[in-house]
Amino acid sequence: MRSVMNVAVIGSGISGAVCAAALAGKGVSVTVFESGRGAGGRMSQRREIVEDGTELLFDHGAPYFTVHDNEVMGLVSSWEAKGLVAEWKENFGCFDRISGKFDDLEKEGSGKKYVGIPGMNSICKGLCLKPGVETKFGVTVGKLEWLESRNLWSLIGLDGQNLGHFDGMVASDKNIASRRFTGQTGRPPPLDMSLAPELAVKLQDVPVRSCFALMLAFSESLSSIPVKGFSFKNSEVLSWAFCDSSKPGRSSVSDSSECWVLHSTAEYAEGVITQTGLQKPSSDTLAKVAEEMFQEFKRTRLHIPKPFFIKAHRWGSAFPATAVAGEEKCLWDRNKRLAICGDFCVSPSIEGAVLSGTRVAERLLESLS
């Protein structure tokens, strides 16, 4: 392996964070570029402050994850030993909107569910703090340039800033070569298709499922609900509901208060986006969505009191509807040491993202040796 190796990772979601930590563990110098304020991606934890100064925390993206692959289980066990992960030992169920009853309690509750401690983003944060990993938050990569004569990648920020030169390049953002990047920023996507045509064409239009998340805080326990997480049957608006407060390591405002997160159906989200567009939703749009989702929650005919906090968030393209990499689990250009990883490469799950990030690290280490 060469004495000086320098790899850039775009995105600090679980696939990028896993890849960065694996590379750093083998002596590679890794710089992670994250456009957001913190690590996590869809595993982010939302922090809200109410009028009286009370802090509320919501896992408004992925509520938990399951593990079936032995390789991933090995990583999860190591995270568990470090206190980054714990099993969420609560009953789950399914609520039929038509009958107004819960069923499939045992079926929905089967299998271990894991959560980050004290938030879902704790895993990504812990991985990005590993020695050898430098993470730069609030930095959006605007352009990737391949310097043929020097066999290096050059990164340019959205503001034109030179972000450095790197031996290898990892992108964990499916919008790196997608027209969605243009729709969100008004700029061409960072990866020019001509640099890696076989990879770029697979990333151009990855089908996605949009979703709205509704964050709710109640001053009393929702005692009429017999489970702490449940799916909705026969609802056009809601798909899932989770009691964040019931997760291990979470602190509540008081012993009787509860924080809940609701997810919309993809169909509901697409209907809103069709009317409002892909740009960042306005406060009026989010307020309307919040009210519609909460009213649907109340129509369960369960006793749902008035929340003291309510806010909606849109996940525009976070949930992939297909896998683009097959058995390879990542997209890889060995000649240019360019890799793409993410759940969209394997399966729309945290486990799929972990597998993809691990595979990219393996490919890069092989090419740099």
Buried b / exposed e over 57-95, threshold 16 CB at 10 Å, is bbbbbbbbbebeeeebeebbeebeeeebbbebebebbbb
Residues ≥6 apart with Cβ < 8 Å to 148: none
Identify the residue with better confidence: 329 or 368.
329
Question: What gap in Å lies between CA 216 and CA 362, rounded to an integer?
Answer: 41
| pLDDT tens-place string over residues 202-219 | 887 788 889 999 999 999
> What pLDDT score was predicted for residue 4?
58
pLDDT value, residue 1: 43
Q: What percent of the chain shows pLDDT beyond 90?
A: 75
**Contact (Cβ atoms closer than 8 angstroms) between residue 58 and residue 261:** yes
Bridge partner residues of 143 (DSSP)? 156
For the four alpha carbons of 182, 186, 189 and 193, in that order, the dihedral sign comes to positive
Name the percent of the chain lying above pLDDT 70. Answer: 96
pLDDT, one tens digit per residue, over 52-106 is 888 999 999 999 999 999 999 999 999 999 999 999 999 899 999 999 998 876 5
**pLDDT-wise least confident of 253-262, 299-308, 350-359:** 253-262
> Do residues 350 and 10 touch, judged by C-beta distance below 8 A?
no
Q: Identify the burial level of 15 via C-beta atoms within 10 angstroms of its C-beta, where 0-12 means exposed, 13-18 middle and 19 or more buried.
A: buried
Who has greater pLDDT, 192 or 252? Answer: 192
Q: Taking 50 as the threshold, does the pLDDT of residue 296 lie above it?
A: yes
Q: How far apart are CA 224 and CA 201, in angstroms?
A: 50
Number of alpha carbons in the 13 Å side-chain half-sphere of residue 366: 12
Alpha helices in the chain (DSSP H): 14-25, 70-81, 105-109, 122-128, 179-185, 197-203, 266-276, 283-298, 343-346, 350-368
Evaluate if residue 311 carries a pLDDT over 60.
Answer: yes
Q: Tell me the sheet residues that pair with 103.
A: 94
pLDDT value of position 199:
87
Whether pLDDT at 281 is above 80: yes
What is the rounded CA–CA span in Å between residue 48 and residue 8? 31
Locate all alpha helices (DSSP H) within 26-162, ordered by sequence.
Answer: 70-81, 105-109, 122-128
The predicted pLDDT at position 107 comes to: 54
Model pLDDT for residues 1-58, shown as the tens digit of each residue: 445 589 999 999 999 999 999 999 999 999 999 999 999 999 999 999 998 888 999 9
Predicted structure pTM score: 0.93
Alpha-carbon distance of 196 to 278, in angstroms, equals: 27
DSSP class of residue 190 equals S
Residue 188, preceding peptide bond in cis (omega within 30° of 0): no
**Rounded mean pLDDT of 174-185?**
77
Our CA angle for 91, 354, 170, nearest 5°, is 150
Position 253 scores a pLDDT of 67
Task: Report the chain's mean pLDDT, rounded to a whole number.
Answer: 91
- The predicted-structure confidence for 109-132, as pLDDT tens digits, reads as follows 458 999 999 999 999 999 999 999
Whether residue 120 contacts residue 59, with contact meaning beta carbons closer than 8 Å, is answered with yes
Helix axes 14-25, 350-368, angle to 10 degrees: 30
Taking the alpha carbons at both ends of the chain, their separation in whole angstroms is 4
